[in-house]
Structure 1
């Protein structure tokens, strides 16, 4: 397979996963604001920090109001991580890589892109937002389902899996970083509502039901962190995502650089003392930064080993 095609499939998986996760995040953040008392003000700025769009938003020169942040995260082409931008990039990749992707996947993705293009601007308001975001989630999951069901498990599929899971690991750590540590420390008035926010962390990743099933305990910080970082069975946990990336390696040309990057990050997470991290003022934030660095190094190793001449 040409490195250009492999690169396209890798990023196709990342962009589709990014669109789905961003839609979930906006939906759950709106519900979190409804769950908290009226006198507790979280605002919409944390959403920009989680998605890494805060610098682009400041450059665009707007106030972090609900409408501005939601529009920037949903539809703004100046935001490379917006739902519309992510689907636009994925659609362009699918257009030039049709020979590698099932025709049905192209059709589902194109339907989703046209749905977002047609209804996105009208869905910024609260009245229409939830149905629109659910449509994005359903469309992204349908696209992934078609790929999983209809695509041969060849080299191209392995690169697609690699991109999808690296994007999921990245989003999980971003949500944990902002919601579980920096957001709490930024506003002391949120301390009495820690459990509500930990529940929001789980719901942002559609993990609440599985957490209650496997952990069998009330929602609390250490339990949520262990589940989303170290659980090896839940598909949105960081450990599961890294293990899935590792499982693609036997199907690809050997790369010790990629294997070492995977093992380093897995070991970092497996050896973490969650209780100790939470007891230190900046312990969790610094640890999440370490994981983010590890994921960035893994992305660089993949690019250098397979995509760059």
Structure 2
């Protein structure tokens, strides 16, 4: 396979999963807003830091109010990681490799693109937002299902899987980071733990993980239990450990690249050694940032090993 096509397949799956999880990230805040009493202060600004775009955002919007944050995360074409930008990038890549993937994939991605252009600005108010998020996540999952069901298990499919796994691992850490950040600011210190647990419930629900959490963990939602499930569970497809284990299963089917294997071993070791109880007792955000750095190095090794030259 040409390195150019391999890179495009890898990035197509990354952009698709990034679009889905950006919608899920906004879902964390939207679900919390529905559950919180009016007396509790809620702020959207930490989500901009979660996606690593605070400097860009403040250069465009001096005041981080709800409308500006949501527009920046979902619809602003100036944000290269926005939902709209991710769908547009996926569509543009697919336009150039349409022969490599089924026609139904193009139609589904194009439907998402047209929906965002036509209805995106109209569904930003709170009363329509969760329906909008559901429409986007369902559309992305439809594309994922088409890829899973209708694409031959050749080397191109392995690059699709590679992009999906690394992007999901990265975005799960970012959504966890959103749950750990100061979205909710109670007036009294005694209220912090109940509201913190509500944040973690919103994280689980946004990742479609709440029912599986209840089935396997069988504990009330808490920071430590949620972190253990989302970081270390070996059976839930959105957990970081599951994604890394998937990468370990993919690499033997691809041309050997020792730097990629070493980078994967480093990030896997970092995640396995994390203590969820210790992270929950403090601030999990520095660990999530470190995990994202290690995943970034893994991506660099993949790009150098498979796409360079």
> What range is the shorter-chain TM-score in?
over 0.9
Secondary structure of the structure 2 residue equivalent to 1:217: coil
Q: 1:221 to 1:12 in 2, by over 3 A?
A: same
Q: Distance in 2 between matches of 1:100 and 1:2?
A: 12
Q: Which runs of 5+ in 1 are unaligned?
A: none
Stretch deviating more after TM superposition (30-39 or 257-266):
30-39
Q: 1:71 to 1:31 in 2, by over 3 A?
A: same
Stretch deviating more after TM superposition (228-237 or 132-141):
132-141
Q: Which residue of 1 aligns with 2:203?
A: 201
Shift of 1:83: 1.1
Q: Which runs of 5+ in 2 are unaligned?
A: none
Q: 1:127 to 1:272 in 2, by over 3 A?
A: closer
Shift of 1:131: 2.2
Shift of 1:245: 1.4
Q: Distance in 2 between matches of 1:124 and 1:275?
A: 37
Q: Which residue of 2 aligns with 1:42?
A: 42
Q: Distance in 2 between matches of 1:126 and 1:295?
A: 34
Q: Distance in 1 between matches of 2:169 and 2:276?
A: 18
1:48 touches 1:54 (CA, 8 Å); kept in 2?
Answer: yes
Q: Which residue of 1 aligns with 2:107?
A: 107
Q: Distance in 2 between matches of 1:241 and 1:231?
A: 10
Secondary structure of the structure 2 residue equivalent to 1:64: coil
TM-score of the two chains, using structure 1 as the length reference: 0.93
Q: Which residue of 2 aligns with 1:233?
A: 235
Runs of 4+ in 1 over 6 A off after TM superposition: 184-187
Shift of 1:185: 9.1
Q: 1:56 to 1:128 in 2, by over 3 A?
A: same
Q: Which residue of 2 aligns with 1:24?
A: 24
1:79 touches 1:85 (CA, 8 Å); kept in 2?
Answer: yes
Q: Deviations over 1:256-309 (max 9, x none)?
A: 111111111112211222223333x44x33322221121111011101101112
Q: Distance in 1 between matches of 2:248 and 2:186?
A: 36
What is the RMSD of the two structures over their aligned residues, measured on CA atoms?
1.9
Q: 1:129 to 1:221 in 2, by over 3 A?
A: closer
